[in-house]
Amino acid sequence: MGIDDFLDREVGGEYRELLERAKQSSAQLGRLKRAFREGDIEQAERILERLKVISEKQQNTATGLREKLLAYDVTAYLREDFHESFVTACQEEDLPITGNFPMYEVFPFRVRIYPERQLIEVDSRQLHLLRPRALCDYLKHARNQLYRERFNAVSFLDALARAYDNILALRHVSYGSVQKDLDVPLLELYQHLTPLPAQRRAYSRNMFAFDLHRLFVADAFTASDGRKLVLGAVKNQRHALLVYDNHGRHWFFGSARFMREEL
């Protein structure tokens, strides 16, 4: 059984009953406060008796609800029913999704499902958002936060250009003469930008791909020295980065080069 049907239909009645009991309890506590303020001991005793009855009913409902929750097979749900609902929810929220259970890419995030552990991992963060729509809301909010962060396209391009030049310089030392606008693997460029493991954890490949995506959004590909970044698409996805352009189309870019435009 899917989690939406289980929570909304199978145990929804008990959940709503608990909410109703909470409202009743809150109302009685308001009356108790007034009785204490006015010194009405007799009324306070009657209210406390009603609270006792409400509390007992609430406890019974909570116990029954907990037993049903414990009996629900979360592992089976994640294995059998999660995928279709998650893909549908992403599509409805206009979240680009690729991959298949248990590993997805909801650009620019990597999502992995762990049925036995009953959790979902988004990049390195572990979550218990088992409802697909709740997970999509989280992903959409996180993506919108990334868009709100400041992004200087020229500064990013200049950093890429410096890394590109350093790679060509190292090749020149190793192999002699090297073409100035030679294609270099995009992942090698990323590794040059993040030589240490801690740097790669702080700035993941997906965030690097997201910054490349923001170049498309800004329509900015020219570094401050006048050279233009040219990305090369490849078919072999193992050696490429998934990047979305400003029209929502996805590309697997595997190479990069900086070149001066011909006059």
Name the domain boundary from 34, 56, 72.
72
Average pLDDT, rounded, for the chain: 93
Looking at residues 118-137, what average pLDDT do you find? 96
Do 119 and 202 belong together in one domain? Answer: no
Write down the pTM of the prediction: 0.85
In angstroms, the Cα distances linking 146 to 94, 149, 169, 214 are 16, 5, 34, 10
Do 80 and 116 belong together in one domain? Answer: yes
Looking at residues 238-251, what average pLDDT do you find? 90
Do 124 and 188 belong together in one domain? Answer: no
What is the predicted pLDDT for the residue at 124?
86
What is 102-143 written as a DSSP string? TEEEETTEEEEEETTTTEEEETTEEE---SHHHHHHHHHHHH
Do 10 and 95 belong together in one domain? Answer: no
Instruction: Calculate Rg over the CA atoms of the chain.
Output: 28
Of the given ranges (79-88, 198-207, 232-241), which has the lowest mean pLDDT?
A: 232-241
Do 162 and 255 belong together in one domain? Answer: yes
Confidence band of 262 (pLDDT split at 50, 70, 90): low
Residues above pLDDT 70, as percent of the chain:
98
Of the given ranges (20-24, 189-193, 214-218, 259-263), which has the lowest mean pLDDT?
A: 259-263
pLDDT higher than 70, residue 263:
no
pLDDT higher than 90, residue 70:
yes
pLDDT higher than 80, residue 219:
yes
Do 88 and 133 belong together in one domain? Answer: yes
What is the predicted pLDDT for the residue at 248?
87
How many structural domains does the chain have?
Answer: 3
Most confident of 1-5, 133-137, 236-240: 133-137
Looking at residues 227-253, what average pLDDT do you find? 90
Name the domain boundary from 47, 72, 97.
72
Do 165 and 255 belong together in one domain? Answer: yes
Of the given ranges (28-42, 62-76, 237-251), which has the lowest mean pLDDT?
A: 237-251
Looking at residues 38-50, what average pLDDT do you find? 96
pLDDT higher than 90, residue 58:
yes
Do 33 and 66 belong together in one domain? Answer: yes
Looking at residues 133-155, what average pLDDT do you find? 96
Q: How far apart are CA 112 and CA 102, in angstroms?
A: 6
Do 47 and 84 belong together in one domain? Answer: no
Do 233 and 159 belong together in one domain? Answer: yes
Range of the domain at 128: 76-148
In angstroms, the Cα distances linking 5 to 10, 13, 82 are 7, 12, 12
CA angle 237, 241, 242 (to 5 degrees): 85
Do 66 and 85 belong together in one domain? Answer: no
- Other residues' Cβ atoms within 10 Å of the Cβ of residue 240: 20
Do 139 and 188 belong together in one domain? Answer: no
Write the pLDDT tens digit of every residue in 169-184: 888 777 776 677 789 9
Name the domain boundary from 91, 120, 148.
148
